């Protein structure tokens, strides 16, 4: 129990979706993939903020990723104060 009387939420979030394994995903250039957050108890999909750190991948506000160009990029999602990252390779 925290000093303020609340119970800590130690559950970490992670990113999942078809083809995701060990925090990685490979897709072909021009293809889409649907990602989603797991490990959130009270969050809704609209609570998630998605972004990419590279030009190889575009990501929507709902976790749909698009392979823009060959290369690698990290896609991140934040829910509350928790963040998860996945590495995506575009072939």
Domain boundaries, the chain: 14-90
Q: Are strands 24-27 and 82-90 parallel, antiparallel or unpaired?
A: parallel
Taking the C-alpha atoms of residue 44 and residue 12, their distance in angstroms, rounded to an integer, is 16
Taking the C-alpha atoms of residue 43 and residue 81, their distance in angstroms, rounded to an integer, is 12
Q: Are strands 64-67 and 57-59 parallel, antiparallel or unpaired?
A: antiparallel
Taking the C-alpha atoms of residue 43 and residue 24, their distance in angstroms, rounded to an integer, is 23
Predicted confidence at residue 1, as pLDDT, reads 39
Predicted confidence at residue 44, as pLDDT, reads 64
Predicted confidence at residue 9, as pLDDT, reads 54
**Three-state DSSP class for residue 11:** coil
Q: Determine the topology of domain 14-90 in CATH.
A: Immunoglobulin-like (2.60.40)
Predicted confidence at residue 57, as pLDDT, reads 97
Predicted confidence at residue 30, as pLDDT, reads 98
Q: What would the pLDDT profile of 45-76 be if each residue is shown by its tens digit? A: 678 999 999 999 999 999 999 999 999 999 99
Q: What is the pTM of this model?
A: 0.81
């Amino acid at each position: 129990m925290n000093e303020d009387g609340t119970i800590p939420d130690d559950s970490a979030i992670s990113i999942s979706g078809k083809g995701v394994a060990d925090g990685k995903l490979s897709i072909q250039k021009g293809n889409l993939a649907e990602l989603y957050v797991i490990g959130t108890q009270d969050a809704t999909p609209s609570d998630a903020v998605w972004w990419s750190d590279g030009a190889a991948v575009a990501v929507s506000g709902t976790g749909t990723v698009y392979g823009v160009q060959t290369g690698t990029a990290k896609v991140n999602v934040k829910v509350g104060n928790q963040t998860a990252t996945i590495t995506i390779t575009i072939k």
